[in-house]
Amino acid sequence: MKTPIYMDNHATTPLDPRVLDVMLPYLKEKFGNAASRNHSFGWEADEAVDTARKAVAGLLGASAKEIIFTSGATESNNLALFGAAEYYREKGSHIITCKTEHKAVLDPARWLEQKGFTVTYLDVNPQGEISLDQLADSITDKTVMISLMAANNEIGTLHPVEEIGRLAAERGVLFHCDATQGVAHMDLDVKKMNIDLLSLSAHKIYGPKGVGALYINRAKKPRVRLTPIIHGGGHENGMRSGTLNVSAIAGFGKAAELIRREQPAETARLLALRERLHQGITSQLDFVYLNGHPTRRHPGNLNISFAYVEGESLLMGIKEIAVSSGSACTSASLEPSYVLRALGVGDDLAHSSIRFGLGRFNTEEEVDYTIGRVVETVNRLREMSPLYEMAQDGIDVSKVQWGPGH
């Protein structure tokens, strides 16, 4: 077994060698522009894009014409929110999302608020789940869109996508789903689930960085329409102008094909590894708390808080294991995770949380090594903590009245 060990697959996944094999020709001899329709270089590039489009569509139960390639899920989310808000502004100016969504949804939502839109941010329970009743009660005659993710990137909790889609369809509201984390391990069928817009990113499914997709429902009557946010050339049916990144798109298509073919076995294997990791840690350490839903969660996600241990110290203590103390997009911040705060997790536990993101290339040997290193490091750090000693003696530390100077 080699170190360092990579267990941060929710931040990004390694490129599958089979994906790289598909990409390389389009970085070398097949370098044509897919929009060049007058010669063979353009034709072979365009064929590669068409093949990838069909593969991504097949992963979602969509048609190829419903897939728009973007630079990643952040752009897809922005296009979905801004595009729908602008196009349907005469219908209404209300959007519903959730407090635990990715920043790529929350930040556009806040920007829309500055432009006069009203946004409802749904609460979640201590396991990260929304209330369908609260969602239903939040819909008004001014509601344009519901934007809720499939799987949370920090705590792994799954939203009830099919129930949300059914409710949105019944009330005549668009449903956008950020499926970036969920698509690799959920059976997503956009038609069955009444999903109108869906965002994806290749680098979360063992594809390359810098490419993603937005599914836009064409079967809905009337069909879903968006106002573009990037103009210049009319690429992607006018929805997203710019020369296509052919090699990355080809890789995205291969990554989607592999997910579709290998998902059942891979999901079962990841779930077994996660349970091995969780049981191995909790059987040897006390005061360890699971964040997120115990069962309705991403199979590769384990987010746990270690009371009486500072998260950054733990990360430094296991520095040969790549994990995260928060989502990759906000891990530079010293503030507690906003997702954990939304769950009602206190600042102390939020600061001690570690996200293990298991993936395709992790092994049992790596999991066992990680268990040993985590247990060893937590025990060493707790030996220096008087609070842990008090907790072991049955003292409720949260109720201690500290004297001056503490």
- Helical H runs in 61-123? 73-87, 103-114
Work out the angle at residue 54's Cα, subtended by the Cα atoms of residues 199 and 244, and round it to the nearest 5 degrees.
65
329 is catalytic: yes
DSSP secondary structure letter of residue 281: H
Residue type, 317: G
Q: Which residues pair with 8 in a beta bridge?
A: 357
Check: CB of residue 202 under 8 Å from CB of residue 211: yes
Residue type, 103: K
Residue type, 333: S
Tokens of 8: 């941060």
Name the strand (E) or helix (H) holding 301: strand 301-306
CA-based max dimension of the chain: 81
DSSP secondary structure letter of residue 399: G
Which of these is catalytic: 219, 329, 384, 397? Answer: 329
For residues 200 and 14, what is the distance between their CA atoms, to the nearest angstrom?
Answer: 16
Name the strand (E) or helix (H) holding 57: helix 40-60
- Helical H runs in 88-142? 103-114, 132-138
For residues 256 and 379, what is the distance between their CA atoms, to the nearest angstrom?
Answer: 42
Check: CB of residue 303 under 8 Å from CB of residue 155: yes
Pairing of strands 197-201, 143-147: unpaired
How would you classify residue 194: left for phi > 0, otherwise alpha for psi between -120 and 50, otherwise beta? left
**Where in the sequence numbering do the catalytic residues fall?**
329
